[in-house]
Amino acid sequence: MDYGINIWGENNFFIDNDRLRINYANQPALIDIIKDLEDQGIKGPLLLRFPHLIRKQINSLYSNFKQAIKEFDYKGEFKAVFPLKVNQFPTFVKPLIKIAKNFNYGLEAGSKAELILAMTYNNKNAPITINGFKDKDMIRLAFIAGFMGYNVTITIEGLNELNSIIEVSREYDKFPVFIGIRIRLHTSGVGVWAKSGGYESKFGLNSTEIIEAIEILKKENILDKLKMIHFHIGSQINDIGPLKKAIREAGNIYADLRKLGAKNLSAINIGGGLAIEYSQWENKRDRNYSIREFSNDVVYLLKEIAIKKNVPMPDIFTESGRFIASPSTILIAPVIELFSQEYNAKALRLKEKNPDLIEELFDLYNLINETNYIEYFHDALDHFESLLTLFDLGMIDLIDRSNAEILVNLIIKKAIIFATYKGFKNKELKAINEKTQEKYLANFSIFQSLPDFWGLKQRFPIMPITKLNMSPNRSATIWDITCDSDGEIPFNKETPLYLHEVDLSKESYYLAFFLVGAYQEILGMKHNLFSYTNEAIITFDENGDYKIEFLERTQKIRDILIDLDYEIDEIENLLKENLQNTKLDEEEKKELLGELFLLLNDMVYLKD
Ligand code: PLP
């Protein structure tokens, strides 16, 4: 069982005997990094960020487009910006900016706060593009960025924004930004994130509005500022077909605008949407193209249109975010309980004299083997039914019922192990295994760390990071620690996840969730007051050894309450008062208060 690592892993990780290793530098095992962090007192869920994987993705984007440009003798340039909405956290953005310098890779901002980040951190000659709805202050910020020397393009989402730009420009004696127009294409992407494109989309100008915009720009004598047209047909475009249609549509609009006099219009911004392969199952692949095919198609189609319409080949801009950010981040959640472990032989409370059916179950449990397991499994289920009926009739007691539950579960477990050796030839056992999944309780919150699973059922690759030389035989449902039944990744026969039988009193077991670097943290919710996880940036030194370059602990209980605008002094005083008003003696009150205040300063996640 390789958990589909060859489908989604992009050669970034590999299984070496029992453990998962990072395929970079000295190839550390993930478990060793985790143990190292645990030695520094880190407990609970952990986000690991790997800047070398950001670099790999940026490099892949640029080198594929460069290759396509060379291959098709394309005359325009390739340029790209990172859309900050995908991940605004400093632990991601700061390493990205360092890597971006060599590529002249810029930033895209969709709000005033993101624009401030772009104006603060962007590399000087790298482009800044500005999308989203804008008020005059946002346009003023864009002008200030232009005055700082940044190469800024404000993309208008509607005609009123163009009018605002014109009004703001009158406040200054120079016009230090370029203008882009977001076009409302006919084409939209496919899948859960497809709504950003198409005629019903929230964004962009239709053909009539585009012509009107050109007329306004001409009238104001600033048509030379129009540099770019922009579209975005949705995130995670799984099918290349709609993208090709969108490129043809946008290419023709570009050519016609040039003919209408937009002589400085020199770039087509194809937005984001470049998909990531999230699937762990060969027959459920998400994406039907590679980055090579994507870049070839964009370059080839734009060249074809430019030649046909006799206009210069435009520069190609992309704003791909998911593709750049997803692979760099792994979420690690320690498993803290396996629910079937309640069914342990040690928990049996056999009596001097047990009901006959219990005695028989006990024999089945002791004598089950690889030849009789199907028959014994059937017998056990049959006996269990009878014992439950006897309980309803008041003929056996709660202790007998508990013994029956334990024995039947132990028999099923043994039968599943024998069936695994034989490749699950027995359909009934396979079905039972699928039905009686093991519940793995993991120390994390789906709402905080995988909101797209909660909201859109987006699957992320999941695998354990140890025991990989052993066959996982438990069909697994993952429970998070929130008090919400939505905090669950249920076993699904179509996309099955099997995990190992583990004795957590003897060993640790961690689940890793991959490709979580895009959108997840910022969309994450503090449901049940579970907040950001622990976070570490892992880099590699010149000898190839890994380094924990940065480590931030998850929030304390008191801090998350402060975030919600509670006055912590008020909470502390009221807690103190609640203890003071009891009949406990002074010494006990003092001790409990000390303990309470320590716990208030503890982390929000579970500790053990
Ligand atoms: N550009 C725009 C305008 C967007 O709205 C988005 C996200 O939806 C992106 C770029 C990034 O898309 P992706 O992360 O799919 O590459």
Evaluate whether residue 56 is within a structural domain.
no
Question: Between vectors from CA 397 to CA 394 and to CA 402, what angle results, nearest 5°?
Answer: 130
Average pLDDT, 10 consecutive residues per value, the chain (608 residues): 96 98 98 97 96 98 98 98 98 97 98 98 96 96 97 96 97 97 81 60 86 96 97 93 94 96 97 96 94 98 97 98 98 93 86 96 95 92 95 96 94 85 70 80 98 95 97 92 95 93 94 98 95 97 97 96 97 97 95 97 92
Q: Are residues 250 and 377 in the same domain?
A: no
Atom in ligand 1 nearest the alpha carbon of residue 274: 16
- What 3-state DSSP class applies to 477? strand
Distance 320 CA to ligand 1 centre (A): 6
**CATH number, domain at 149?**
3.20.20.10
Which atom of ligand 1 lies closest to the CA of 320? Answer: 16
Question: Is residue 532 in some structural domain?
Answer: yes
Q: Do residues 112 and 131 share a domain?
A: yes
Q: Are residue 266 and residue 140 in the same domain, yes or no?
A: yes
| Centroid of ligand 1 to alpha carbon of 278 (angstroms) | 17
Q: Mark which of 320, 353, 368 sits at the end of a domain.
A: 320
Instruction: Determine if ligand 1 sits within 6 Å of the CB of residue 151.
Output: no
| Domain shared by 106 and 239, yes or no | yes
Which burial class, exposed, middle or buried, applies to 598 when counting CB atoms under 10 A from its CB (0-12, 13-18, 19+)?
exposed
Residue with tokens 């990172």, as numbered in its chain: 82
- DSSP string over 329-382: EEEEEEEEEEGGGGS-GGG----SS--HHHHHHHHHHHH--TTTHHHHHHHHHH
Task: Confirm or reject: Cβ of 466 under 6 Å from ligand 1.
Answer: no
For ligand 1, say whether the CB of 132 is within 6 Å of any of its atoms.
no
pLDDT at residue 394 in the model? 96
- Looking from the CA of residue 319, the nearest atom of ligand 1 is 10
- 155 within ligand 1 shell (Cβ under 6 A): no
Pocket test for ligand 1, best of 196, 236, 326, 452 (most atoms within 8 A of CB): 196
Question: Per residue in 374-406, is it b (16+ CB within 10 Å) or e — as a string?
Answer: bebbebbeebbeebeebeeeeebeeebbebbbb
Whether residue 468 is found in the same domain as residue 588: no
The model's pLDDT over 345-391, given as tens digits with 9 standing for 90+, comes to 889 999 999 999 999 999 999 999 989 988 999 999 999 999 999 99
Write the pLDDT tens digit of every residue in 421-469: 766 667 777 777 777 788 999 999 999 999 999 999 999 999 999 999 9
Catalytic center residues: 483
Question: The tokens 């074809």 sit on which residue?
Answer: 304
| Pairing verdict, β 267-269 and 226-230 | parallel
Report CA(204)–ligand 1 centroid distance (Å): 14
360 in the same domain as 383: yes
Residue 577 is classified by DSSP as H
Q: From the CB of 271, is ligand 1 less than 6 Å away?
A: yes
Indicate if 95 and 125 belong to the same structural domain: yes
Same domain, 148 and 276: yes
Q: Is the CB of 452 under 6 A from ligand 1?
A: no
Q: Which of residues 554, 576, 592 is at a domain's end?
A: 554
Q: Write down the pLDDT at residue 440.
A: 96
> Looking at residue 427, which CATH number applies to its domain?
2.40.37.10
Pocket of ligand 1, candidates 319, 329, 523: which has the most ligand atoms within 8 Å of its Cβ, to mutate?
A: 319
CB-ligand 1 contact for 287 (6 Å cutoff): no
In a domain, 415, yes or no: yes
| Residue 454 Cα to ligand 1 middle (Å) | 20
Nearest CA to ligand 1 atom 10: 272
Give the residue, by CA position, lying nearest to ligand 1 atom 9. 272
Q: How far does residue 340's CA lie from ligand 1's centre (Å)?
A: 43
- In a domain, residue 605? The reply is no
Q: Are 21 and 99 in the same domain?
A: no
364 within some domain: yes
Measured distance CA(439)–CA(162) in Å, rounded: 56
**From the CB of 319, is ligand 1 less than 6 Å away?**
yes
Q: What is the CATH number of the domain that holds 572?
A: 1.10.287
* Domain final position from 537, 554, 571: 554
Largest separation between any pair of C-alpha atoms in the chain: 100
Residue 183 Cβ inside 6 Å of ligand 1? The answer reads no
- Containing domain of residue 594, as a range? 558-600
**Same domain as 38, residue 75:** no
Report pLDDT for 219: 96
Kindly state the tokens that stand for 165: 């730009």
Q: How far is the CA of 322 from the centre of ligand 1 (A)?
A: 8
Give residue-wise pLDDT tens across range 86-102. 999 999 999 999 999 99
Instruction: Give me the number of domains the chain comprises.
Output: 3
Please indicate, yes or no, if residue 93 is contained in any of the structural domains. yes
Are residue 101 and residue 210 in the same domain, yes or no? yes
Model confidence over 119-139: pLDDT tens digits?
A: 999 999 999 999 999 999 999
Domain contains 57? no
User: Within this chain, do residues 67 and 10 fall inside the same structural domain, yes or no?
Assistant: no
Residue 54 within a domain: no
